Structure 1
Amino acid sequence: MLERAGAHGFSYGLHGGPPIRMQWHFYGQSELPVAVQTWELPPGGFEGMHSHAGPDGALEEIYVVLEGTGRMEIDGETFEIGVGDSVLARPGTAHDLRNTGGGALKVLTIWGPPGPADFSGFGSARRAAAARAEEAR
């Protein structure tokens, strides 16, 4: 199944920020327990400071920068981000994404409820664990 870039895109305001352009990849078709979205924030655009906590709303989010530059604030810590950078916002952490560049900030955002997943049987998971262990030395 193929979904083209920009297919089924729409304008959407997130958590108090101005509307952004969004594509929810394979909405209603994928059975994975996560949302996979592409967000495009215009220059000066922002998500809005928020958190996802509580029994009905605990979510974990991963942001991967595809294009542009921005700033991510998580629980008072600020990160300047650019192409290839990724940020993890754990449940309950206050966070905001802002476009600080002169062009669009495009991010791949994956979010869903936290829970256990065991990928240890996959070779790529073993390699990822080894790479992290090597870098920790």
Structure 2
Amino acid sequence: MLERRGDYAFDYNLHGGTAPVTMQWLFHEQSRLPVAVQTWELPPGGTEGMHSHPDSGRALEELYVVIEGTARMTVDSQVHDLAAGDAVLAPAGSEHDLANTGSGPLRVLVVWGEPGTADYTAFGSHRSAKAARAGDATTS
């Protein structure tokens, strides 16, 4: 299966943001992964809108990865300035908002779903990621 950028894009208003987000839900109703995988494009000055997905409702965790442009992401009063390749995790229940701070479009990969666990310990990349994080912890 292949989806190209823009194949199934649509404009969508998120959480009272300042402008519609051009969104593509990748492999909607085709993938069996227990998460939604989307690309979003926000215009200059566009925001998602401050919101949360509380534990009392349908708790959702969201992972944002900047593909192109610059952004400011606020998560529970912590402000993060982001560029291409940077990622932010918005845990379930956190108040968060994404804003395009650049003069061009902001492109973001967003993966979201209900929190849970999976066992990836049998994979070599899992061991390498764990080792890399252990190295980061000792150098900070």
Shorter chain as denominator, the TM-score bin is over 0.9
Q: Distance in 1 between matches of 2:114 and 2:39?
A: 18
Identity of aligned residues (%): 61
Q: Distance in 2 between matches of 1:60 and 1:15?
A: 15
Q: Distance in 1 between matches of 2:2 and 2:55?
A: 35
Query: Following TM superposition, by how much is the alpha carbon of 1:55 offset from its aligned partner in structure 2, in angstroms?
Result: 4.0
Residue 99 of structure 2 corresponds to residue 75 of structure 1: no
Other-structure match for 2:7: 7
Query: Following TM superposition, by how much is the alpha carbon of 1:103 offset from its aligned partner in structure 2, in angstroms?
Result: 0.2
Q: Distance in 1 between matches of 2:55 and 2:77?
A: 20
Q: Distance in 1 between matches of 2:24 and 2:36?
A: 10
Q: Distance in 2 between matches of 1:42 and 1:128?
A: 34
Residue ranges of structure 2 left out of the alignment (5+ in a row): none
SS in 2 for 1:22: strand
Other-structure match for 1:62: 63
Query: Following TM superposition, by how much is the alpha carbon of 1:4 offset from its aligned partner in structure 2, in angstroms?
Result: 0.8
Deviation sequence 1:89-134 (CA, Å, 0-9, x none): 0000000000010000000000000011111111001100000001
Equivalent residue letter for 1:99: N
Equivalent residue letter for 2:95: A
Other-structure match for 2:98: 97
SS in 2 for 1:54: coil
SS in 1 for 2:115: coil
Moved >6 Å (runs of 4+): none
Q: Distance in 1 between matches of 2:120 and 2:6?
A: 31
Aligned length: 137
Equivalent residue letter for 2:121: S
Alignment TM-score, normalising by the size of structure 2: 0.96
Matches within 5 A, 1:1-137: 1-17=1-17, 18-137=19-138
Equivalent residue letter for 1:6: G
Query: Following TM superposition, by how much is the alpha carbon of 1:75 offset from its aligned partner in structure 2, in angstroms?
Result: 0.5
Query: Following TM superposition, by how much is the alpha carbon of 1:13 offset from its aligned partner in structure 2, in angstroms?
Result: 0.4
Query: Following TM superposition, by how much is the alpha carbon of 1:56 offset from its aligned partner in structure 2, in angstroms?
Result: 3.5
RMSD between aligned alpha carbons?
A: 0.7
SS in 1 for 2:24: strand
Query: Following TM superposition, by how much is the alpha carbon of 1:77 offset from its aligned partner in structure 2, in angstroms?
Result: 0.9
Query: Following TM superposition, by how much is the alpha carbon of 1:53 offset from its aligned partner in structure 2, in angstroms?
Result: 1.1
